[in-house]
Structure 1
Amino acid sequence: MKRLMTVLAVVAAVFSTSAFAADSCDSQADAKKLAGAARTSFVKKCEKDNPPTDAASCEARATDKKLAGAAKTSFVTKCEKDAKGTTAKASCDAQAAEKKLAGAAKNSFVKKCVADAGA
């Protein structure tokens, strides 16, 4: 039960920080007073480092990119898949840390855990 609560806390933390990534990336760029290519580069890198975690943010990004039809569907599907993989990896990393695994044992555990989460 304790492990379940820890995993849920980690997943909740990942969802809460990444869901606002697009807004925070823009606000961070504003705070740094970036403009033009520097701003665009900063925002792209920031969004890449903080991928969206739910379907609504994936839909919003697709709309921002002015995608429609098959391109939008493909983008949203990939976005949601990437977000799911990110949260599974974060959860598995937390479990490995809780078990105090390191090196090859940690890598093996995380790989199996992520595969099980995807199944």
Structure 2
Amino acid sequence: MKMLRVPLLVMGFLMCAQGFAATAQQSKMTTCNADPQAKTLKGDERKAFMSNCLKATPAAAAKPVTAQQQKMKDCNADPQAKTLKGDERKAFMSTCLKK
């Protein structure tokens, strides 16, 4: 009797894992179907749209920008940084990132 418990337990975990995966896919399908653009498309255009929509990663899954990355972005966007070259640019970026 004890030997039967382990395979049943493993099988139960596998079935639960499949249930979670199906739920994520179903929610993605619901989101893609709810898109107003999907409602106006027909045939092959709709198939292509749905395929792209389902392949796309959700925006929430995108990595947030760290403070250091934001500083780099801001310093690079500075018009002064665009005119500098070589060592002058390195010095400017160094002081800008230390702020």
TM-score in same-fold range (> 0.5): no
What is the TM-score when the length of structure 2 is the normalising length?
A: 0.44
Larger Rg: 2
What is the TM-score when the length of structure 1 is the normalising length?
A: 0.37
Query: Which structure carries more relative contact order (alpha carbon 8 Å, separation 6+)?
Result: 1
